[in-house]
Amino acid sequence: MTFKDRLIRMMEGRYGADELFYLLTGLYILLTIVNIFVHSWILHIIGLVIFAVAVIRSLSRNIPARHKENSLVLRAGEKLGIKRKVKAQRPARDTVNFAYKKCPACKKTLRLPRKKGKHNTKCPACGEEFSVKIR
Ligand SMILES: [Zn+2]
């Protein structure tokens, strides 16, 4: 068994990293950097505790509880005006079964069955007839 297999097996059924994990880890790094200048053992211990909490959470098997904590933090962040970076999820294009061509008249993208060769097609939006080449 390789190290990677062992790691995957160890993380099975465990919560893993979430936004709160990155927040806590970031806080730990920040405290560590600050502590380079201030040399405070209190800051050092606070940092270690924060990091320990982050690691313990990620190894937890009580996923609903951890999920609740994370969403609480996210909601608090939203109140502070921090928006989650949610990528607009576009449905993936099925490029195996379809070809996508733009209508020359209205520029609308048409989804055509992927059949090789030259075809005549009619745009359903504007009625323009044109020929497309599908490779
Ligand atoms: Zn058109």
Question: Token match 């989650």: residue?
Answer: 84
Kindly state whether residues 74 and 108 are assigned to the same domain. Answer: no
Report the separation in Å between the CA atom of 110 and the middle of ligand 1, taken as the mean of its atom positions. Answer: 8
pLDDT average per 10 residues of sequence, the chain (135 residues) = 84 88 95 93 94 95 93 89 67 87 94 93 95 91
Domain boundary among the residues 34, 51, 79 is at 79
Residue 63: HSE in the Cβ half-sphere, 13 Å Cα cutoff: 7
As for how many domains the chain has, the answer is: 2
Kindly state whether residues 71 and 29 are assigned to the same domain. Answer: yes
pLDDT at 88: 64
Nearest in space to 15 (alpha carbons), one of 75, 61, 54: 61
Kindly state whether residues 57 and 16 are assigned to the same domain. Answer: yes
Domain membership of residue 125 as a residue range = 98-134
pTM: 0.55
CA distance 114 to 29: 52
pLDDT at 4: 87
pLDDT at 48: 95
pLDDT at 22: 94
Kindly state whether residues 71 and 18 are assigned to the same domain. Answer: yes
pLDDT at 6: 87
Report the separation in Å between the CA atom of 90 and the middle of ligand 1, taken as the mean of its atom positions. Answer: 22
Contacts from 27-30 at CB under 8 Å and sequence distance 24+?
A: 28/54
pLDDT at 3: 86
Kindly state whether residues 70 and 105 are assigned to the same domain. Answer: no
Structure tokens at 24: 């806590």
Report the separation in Å between the CA atom of 135 and the middle of ligand 1, taken as the mean of its atom positions. Answer: 21
Helix (H, G, I), strand (E, B) or coil at 107: coil
